[in-house]
Structures are given as C-alpha cells and as structure tokens.
Structure 1
Amino acid sequence: MSRPALAARFAVTVGAILVLGLAGGATAGARAEPVVAVDQTEVALGEELAVRLAGWAPGTVLVELCGNGAHRGSIDCAVGTGATAAVRADGSGSVALTLSMPPSGCPCVVRVRPVLSGATVTVPVVVRGVPVQPAPPAGRVPTALAATGVRVAASGSSWASIFGGPAHRTVTVTLSNPGQAPVAEPRLRLTSGRPGRTDVIVPAPGIELLEPGQRRTFDLPVTFGAPTWGRYAVRGELLGADQPAVFYAHTYSYPWGLLVLPAFAIGLAMRRRWRRVG
C-alpha cells in the first residue's frame, strides 16, 4: 500500500477513534446518540470494513451495506451478507463487515440498526464496483415500482419432496406503480436458492405497461431441485424505473418421509417377529 493511502487510512482511523471517544465520554445520566465509525471511507466489493460503535443500547445490532442511501430500508440493503455485532454494557461494539453487492446502486451507506427496536444510523461510504444510480433528468417525473403482499405456498405434487425430491412452490406478489409517471417496460428478474445465495435463475413473466397507481398480482411457480432439505429463498427484482423494487420470499422443505420409512420398516419387522414368537 502506498504512503498516501496509508496516511489517509490512518487519518480516518484516528478520526473514528476521536469520535468514539467523545461519544463514550457522555455522562451516564444521558446516553449519547448512537455513533457509527468506519475505518475506511472508500472500499471495494469483497473487502472488509471495520465498523465501530459507541453510545448504543446494550444488545445486538445488524450491520449492512445498502445502496440508494438506504432510503427504502431493507430492500436497498445486502441483508443476506450483513453482520451482527454485540453491544456491550458501555454502549460500544465492533464488527468486520464483508462488502457484497447491494440490491440498489450507490450512493452507498453502512446501515446499523438494533435487532429489536431503536434508532437506525447510516454512514456514507464509496464502494468501488457498485454502479451509481443515475439521477433523473431535470424536469422529468421520476418513475417508481413497488412489490407488496409477498407470500409462498406449496404447489403441485408434494410426494417427491417428502422423500427429498424437487419441491414446488408458488410465490404470490403484487407489483405496483406508486409513482406519478407510467413505467413502460418493467422487467422482473427472479432467482432462487439458499438464503443469501439465490443464484439459480427462475423464468419470470413479462409485464405490460404499469400506469400510476396500477397494481397487478402474479403467481410465480418456483422449483427447488433435489435433494431438498432445509430453508430456501426466492429473490425478485423489479427493474425499469428510477426506483426499482426488490422482494424476498422464504420457504423450507424437509424430507420427513425418509425418517418415517425406516421407522415403519422397523415396526413391521418387529410385528412379524412377535407373530413368529407367539
């Protein structure tokens, strides 16, 4: 690493320590506002960012990298690769966050929020490798898309999944245009897999023009390939607007039939043995 880079990183770290020291020096009678400090303000995807906390209520907090300034909450954040940090009794804590691509483009922030309830704090960071969302031209009404009412239900024959075969699910979601301008060609991108690793492409239907305030509900068939065991996720990304939408659906499949069959076979064998003995 070059000397200028080392000097810049040293300056950021010293500044973070000073900020955290000031926050930690608040009187016990009035807890300081929650403070978040990072050891770098410019990083690249895949790198680790040291995040330090001060003035937080004791407990557990979630730390995530978000795009779009986290203006829409979790749908802008890489929730699958976030980190958790334990806040000590003195309000301090620390964690290393590995940066992965957020659902939305930059401006990017590190978002820290309590698991249960409390204030959310964000810190801006420049992340190399994450595209910057273009601002809409002056005079043009920004377009927006939204996804609500997400739910999952079993579909098709469930016999195969009982024994570890493919699991069929239907994801129902309502897509809408909450903006003030029509969205001409919205595109739906679907992927499935394990939570945090949804890398299997799922065929998605085409979507026609969405006028302002218009809603459409879709039933999306998804199949998880064999052998199925445990929890699964579906990630949907609705593109084609200045403010895209991201949604998640979670389900599970356990091959309990593989446990029942041996028990049934053992019971049948014992019954035959008892008959011979009798």
Structure 2
Amino acid sequence: MNGIRGRLAALLAALAVALLPVAAAPAAADTGKPAVTLSLSEAAKGTELSADGTGWRPRTMVMLLVCGQNMIGGTNSCANADGVAVAVGDDGHFGARLPVVAPPKPCPCVVNVTSVNGDQSTVAVPLKITGHPVAELPAESGTARLAMLTGVRLKGDDGVLTWFGAPPGRTFTATVGNLGSAPVKDPVFQLGTAHGVFAPQWEEARWKGTIPPGGKAEIALNVELPAGAHGDYTVSLKYGDTVLAGQPWGVDRPYGVLLFWGLLLVVIPTALFRAGMAVVDRVRPRAAASGAGRRHAASAVTARLPRIAAVRGPVRGPAPAGDPEAALPWFTPEPRPEDPSGDRPHTPQTSAPSENSPTTKGHL
C-alpha cells in the first residue's frame, strides 16, 4: 500500500509540473499587456512567418514592420513598403502573415508591432535574418522634439477639506509624441498656473519614462493651488521653451471658511456673555443679602403704617403737590372746624377778645 501511495503521489506531482506552464499562460494574458509571438526566431529573406498577438486593444488596427538597428531612428530603419496591417479581434487577439524582407539598415533586426488607432502600444520582437549584414548599434544621437497630441484634461475632484480652504489639487494628463530622432528619457516639464489674466507661475515637474522616436506616451503630472484659492485658473504645460497645452480650471469658493467665521462670530459673544454671567453669579450673594436687609426694613415700615393711620385718623386724600407734608405719608393734619349750619365758613378769631366773650380767669 505504501508503494502504491508513493507512486500516486509522484504521478500527481508530475501532472502538476506538466500543467504549470499551461496555467501560467492565461495569467499572463489576464494582465492586459500587449504581446507578440513569432513562429520563427530566424528566417531567410523571402520567407514568410506568422505573428500571433494577445492583449491588444479590441477593434483596433496594428502595423507590423521588419526593422534594422533595433529601430533606432524611428521608421527610417524599417521596410515600410512591405509592412502588414491587421485588425484586432474583440478578444484582443490577432494573427498575421509577414514576409521577411531586407530592412534598409543592418541587423540586429526586430519585428515592430504598433497600434495605429488604439492606445499606441508598441512591441518589438527580435528577429535574426539570414544573410543580412550585422553591425554595431550606432550611438543615440539627434534631437528630441515633443509635441502635444490629444487627451489634455484635469483629473480629480475636490474633497471636504478643500471646502474648508485646503489646497485644491488635480492631475494634469496629456498625450505627447516624440517627433525627433532621439528618445526622450525622464523628460522635465514645466507646469504653470495662472489666475485670471495674470501671468502663469511655472514649476518643474518630472515624468518618469522613456518616449522613443516616433512614439507617444500619456503623461500624468500633479498640480496644486495655494490654500483658499478660488476663481478661474489656467494650467499650462511647457517643455523647453514651447508651451504644449493649456487647460482651464474653475475653482469654487471655500464656503466652509465663511461658515466657520460666521459661527465664530456667534460663539465668541456667547462665550463672553456666559463668562460674564458666571462672574455675576459669584458676586450676587453679597448683593442679595444687602437687598434683603433693605426689603426687611421697608416691610417693617409698611407694617407700622396702619397703626399710625388708626391713631391719626383717616386720610382724606392725597396732599397737594406743593404741600411739605406730602413727604410724610403717615402725617395726617387735624381736621378744621366748620360752621354747624353749613351756610358760611368759619370766621377766624380776632386777635383781641370781645367784651361778651368769657375769659378763662373770671371777671375783673
């Protein structure tokens, strides 16, 4: 039994090793990177080889060219008249038959496959041409000249912090092509931001990558405005002394800052008022005690008024405004005598007594 189990384990291991390359092939195809496979790695002039491509953009056209000198210097080193154009299927696959012709430049040679109307993907597959001369690759020389092609836009959105005055940022993307005869490696661009009619302020921005002669690439550069910026801006891209493109950028006003200041104007007076009320609450007990004493004295005087009124008699009415007795509410003047008949008022007594009036000490 142990021997049978060992043989089964060895058989399963052999099957796993045999199926491993087959399982790895779809994984490589799922990455979406364009790839080309040639039926021959070496061919003589006049023969025909087949090219199989996978991972290309569906429903696009690709061009196949046989080039010398590893295509240094662009399509000038390729057999352009004998190139083949083929369509890519819906699954990203294409198949083509390419004649092997002598390129205008010596080998090392390649079969260059480029997407014509797609994303400009390029793949170069080495090919050895029998009987074609071989020479060392020339030193890369010439000038690089970048030009703007398409796809100029600003990517990104504002967040919550931007609404409260954080620096707004975007990603400036554009597709540039190398029209020169030398590759461009890690080009240094300049991004300029201009507010309204003012001149732009330039800052250097490096893009990592290489753009071959005749090729193109999509660059992405980060651009950021100062904190609290708002209004109409223009973002420009410059390479060397040439302005390649410009893109308008409308930045909203940070209304969160205005809301913050409005709340601050409400909170500070409220805090000061509450602090003042706290101070008043600490001082209030002493003031309340003195006020309570005054109220107690006033209530005592008020309680004595009925007794004084009972002794003095009823109050006939309010005193005239000019009467000095009006300041004393408990003072009641004596009633004046009136004529019993009520016909005429009482005649005041003269200074000298009359003869008929009685005297207090008797007759003389």
TM-score range, shorter chain: 0.3 to 0.5
Higher share of residues assigned helix: 2
Q: Structure with the greater relative contact order (CA < 8 A, sep ≥ 6): 1 or 2?
A: 1
Greater Rg by CA: 2
